[in-house]
Structure 1
Amino acid sequence: MANDQGHLMIKTALHAGRIMIENGSEIARVSDTIRRIAANAGYPDSKVYVTITGIMMSVSGEDNAQIEPVTTRSIDLEKITRVNDLSRHFADQKITLAEFDQRLTDLDQHPRYFPLWLQLISAGVLSGSLEVVFRGNYPDFWVTCLIGLIGWGIFYGVNQLAKVRFLSEFLAAAGIGVLAILAVKYHLGTSADDIIIGSVMPLVPGVPLTNAVRDILAGDLVSGVARGMEALMSAIAIGSGIAMILQAM
């Protein structure tokens, strides 16, 4: 029975850690959450090794370490918060370990996303607002909102079809560049540069870059460098899309 409890604890802890990494959590938070789950389940001497591509965990009394691969990564801070809330409920003995695991499964299988129309509106408002903040160009506010909205739509659509984030970012940035230049050409905007700067902001990998710095400062050098390279690749994809259009047009 104790062996079964140990297997269930490791399964639950690895499940929680994988969900957190997949949705943008920093490595230190993941490691801390896994260790707390193990300690609250009666295994205070757990050993955990976490990277952004996989988690390894073992505890005394178990024959083998177990590994949980991480194959996808996105940004969903609500999922991270819900995993933390479940961990606290387990620590307070409001739910059992089996209930904890079942709720994690439900969270994984039935994710709650903001509807596409709300994502588009949010991307548009963010684009226009940041264009004003960074460039102070009030006349181009509305056209920047519209182009930022369309750019996020391109990113979302390509990502759904190809499942390659860098390709989605490249094509979305290229689309933004074309629309910005056309907007100025037909006198719908005054500065293509200002419109582009605002419109690409929803695509900028701010969370991965922040987590890369936090991981490096926390001593998680492998994950920090990997996240930094991921953020750099996103920045290159966005910059290449814009540069190609500016060169061509």
Structure 2
Amino acid sequence: MERYISDTLALSMGIGKLLLENGAETYRVEDTVYRVAQSYGYLNIHVYCVPNTIILNVETKDGDVYNRLWRVPTRDTNLGKVKEANELSRQITAGNLTVTEARAQLKIITNQKRIYQPYERYLAGAILSGFFALMFLGTWIDLIGAVVAGGLGYIFFKQINDLTNLQFFSELTSSFIIGWLVVLLVTVGIGDNMDIMILASVMTLVPGRAITNGIRDLMAGDYVSGLSILADALLTASAIGIGVAGVLAIV
């Protein structure tokens, strides 16, 4: 019995952790963990989630109370894993999987590597920056400059972040590099509008998911999570602004 309880609680928390570390909203994590635990017959289920922690409290039919607390130190954006975790939770609640089968599938999803190679993500970031330049009413030469600055800036961001694991420093440094690259490109004639090129090039660093999830959590009444996520987004925006402003102040 103790083994069953340990396995089912680990499974419930594991799915929640997978969702949280890959960009799911707080309400989605709490609801999924609740439904999975409920499907295994637990009573008086309480789930509390903040951006880096999940707490689960359940009661068995015999009246025994169990608690679990898992810390989620890293967060990324991988909506593919979020989708697969949701599908796994639906299969569990529908009774289509045993605990052993569900844990095996969870392990497979957790260990999955990204579909896209690093160079593909860098290329996508560069192209994205270029088309943002057009969206901001830049010229075709601005698009070329934004592709170069945005692509190289995104590469620097990923490499620095992997080395330091300090997102604020990585974003500040990358935005500073992007600013200098744009100044250099405009100086040599690759670009007409410096402000549009800088704006387009830093768009790959803008915390769009964090802002969206933070507002969504606030609307759902999850004020601690919402404010925490928005504070993280504000730090990112500040890092980008400081980096670009530093270049413009020197120029």
**TM-score above 0.5, yes or no:** yes
Give the match for residue 168 of structure 1: 170
Unmatched runs of 5 consecutive residues or more in structure 1? none
Give the match for residue 118 of structure 1: 120
Give the match for residue 191 of structure 1: 193
The code of the aligned residue for 1:243 comes to: A
* Equivalence map 1:114-153=2 (5 Å): 114-153=116-155
Find the residue that maps to 1:85 and give its secondary structure: helix
Counterpart among 85, 98, 101 of residue 99 in structure 1: 101
Q: Distance in 1 between matches of 2:43 and 2:99?
A: 15
Matched, 1:179 2:181: yes
Q: Distance in 1 between matches of 2:38 and 2:189?
A: 64
Give the match for residue 39 of structure 1: 38
1:12 CA displacement = 0.8
Contact 1:167 1:237 survives alignment (8 Å): yes
Normalised by the size of structure 2, how large is the TM-score?
0.94
1:44 CA displacement = 5.0
The code of the aligned residue for 1:228 comes to: L
Normalised by the size of structure 1, how large is the TM-score?
0.95
The Cα offsets for residues 5-58 of structure 1, whole Å up to 9 and x where unpaired, read as 222221111111111111111100001111111122222531111111211112
Unmatched runs of 5 consecutive residues or more in structure 2? none
The Cα offsets for residues 196-237 of structure 1, whole Å up to 9 and x where unpaired, read as 011101110000011000001100000000001000000001
Give the match for residue 14 of structure 1: 13
1:113 CA displacement = 4.6
The Cα offsets for residues 140-195 of structure 1, whole Å up to 9 and x where unpaired, read as 11121121111110011101111111111111111110000011111111111111
Q: Distance in 2 between matches of 1:226 and 1:166?
A: 15
Counterpart among 232, 235, 241 of residue 234 in structure 2: 232
1:110 CA displacement = 3.8
1:101 CA displacement = 1.9
Contact 1:53 1:69 survives alignment (8 Å): yes
Find the residue that maps to 1:64 and give its secondary structure: strand
Q: Distance in 1 between matches of 2:115 and 2:249?
A: 37
The alignment-based identity, stated in percent, is 32
Structure 1 residue runs of 4 or more that deviate by more than 3 Å after TM superposition: none
Find the residue that maps to 1:46 and give its secondary structure: strand
The code of the aligned residue for 1:231 comes to: A
Matched, 1:49 2:51: no
Give the match for residue 25 of structure 1: 24
The code of the aligned residue for 2:167 comes to: R
Aligned length: 248
Give the match for residue 206 of structure 2: 204
The code of the aligned residue for 1:157 comes to: Q
Matched, 1:72 2:74: yes
Contact 1:212 1:223 survives alignment (8 Å): yes
Give the match for residue 90 of structure 2: 88
Q: Distance in 1 between matches of 2:243 and 2:101?
A: 47
